[in-house]
Amino acid sequence: MALPLDGLVAYEFGSNVAGPFAGSILAELGATLIKIERPEGDDARSWGPPFAPDGTATIFHALNRNKKSVTVDLKDPAQLQKLRERIAADGDIVVQNMRPGAMKRLGLDSETLLEMNPRLIYCNLNAFGADGPLKDRPGYDALMQAFGGIMSVTGEEGQAPVRCGISVIDMGTGMWCAIGILSALFRRGVSGKGGLVDAALFETAVQWMTFYSADYQTTGNPPKRHGSGVRGIAPYEAFECADGYLIVAASNDRLFIKLADAIGQPEWKADPRFATNPKRDANRVELKRQLSNMLIQQPRAHWQSILDEAGVPNAPTQSIDEVLEHPQTVAAGMVQQVAGAPFGLIGLPLSFDRERPGPALEGAGSGPGQ
């Protein structure tokens, strides 16, 4: 299939998760993605166990499919000059998440490369951004989940802060990079000129806190943790059943009435504590107690059947094996086989004309020096 970025050449100076995730999006969308690695390779190659049979960490395969990997000794002036000239000659995009100041010292910064190639789209992915007192400080996903406030609203109230189980800030910032690059490419199509895109882990974390920010500025009260639930909506969380947990999402008054009827609790509809969503939220502890006492008596499938029939949104909390084996995952074609990877990799969650982009390169991302 013809992909949106077919014919474009992108250079990735990325390591770990954030930069490579941004680069992987560009590669999945059709760009020829050239990953520049140090002679020892991306740090993520050794982020294990687990390791693939080729000795490379599984996380590296997951983040670097569909890329061409090239080793460059960034301490060698001759190799650096060749790299600058190549980017100036054929580069459309550069995305980098090197330590602050590193690209400037190497002469691979936006000012240098944009002067050589005015049509270039250059994307900086930093920890704290281009400005401010922390602009030169490095950072990682867990640090930003803490510093940006996300850990303050994740987990159970009264317990230790909890990090989201995925690298949500790294991958979220990679997505913002892709959005910024695509926007800059659209602008270039009009003006003929490239430009600079800046994204930052900290800024992504703060942006993800958008409605908590609105809550605090309205009430003056810092938000609380609600475990699997969310502020302002009840019931909308995981409840224990006889064989696992089930999310019940009766997120408005109409759905709550359906829930009450479906599980044989019509009296809830007349209970003033549960009459409206704000009242249910105020009495969420009692509502959870009553609903938990019911759901624990039967397995998840029993309640799923009843709630599905009533039109009440629900979902079991699945482990990754259940997710991968589920017929919906299979039907969507989300798991793709890639040459060079010893296991299936998750595809891009986008389709064009009902077709999902798939593997493009033989053995892409399997080792430095390709």
Phi/psi region, residue 129 (left: phi>0; alpha: psi -120 to 50; beta: rest), is: left
Alpha helices, DSSP H only, in the chain? 18-28, 58-63, 77-90, 102-106, 110-116, 141-147, 168-191, 201-208, 210-219, 253-262, 277-282, 284-295, 300-310, 320-325, 327-332
CB 69 within 8 A of CB 56: no
Catalytic: which of 170, 261, 271, 308?
170
CB 30 within 8 A of CB 8: yes
Say if CB 206 and CB 148 are below 8 A apart.
Answer: yes
Query: Bridge partners of 352?
Result: 355
343 touches 366 (CB < 8 A):
no
- Residue 170 annotated in active site: yes
For residue 265, list its beta bridge partners.
none
SS3 153: helix
Taking the C-alpha atoms of residue 95 and residue 36, their distance in angstroms, rounded to an integer, is 11
Q: Please work out, in degrees rounded to the nearest 5, the angle formed at the alpha carbon of residue 136 by the alpha carbons of 132 and 126.
A: 90
Asked if 357 contacts 348 with a C-beta cutoff of 8 angstroms, the reply is yes
Q: Are 96 and 14 in contact (CB under 8 A)?
A: yes
**Closest of 124, 130, 126 to residue 108, by C-alpha:** 124
The owner of tokens 């009264």 is 158
Catalytic (active-site) positions: 170
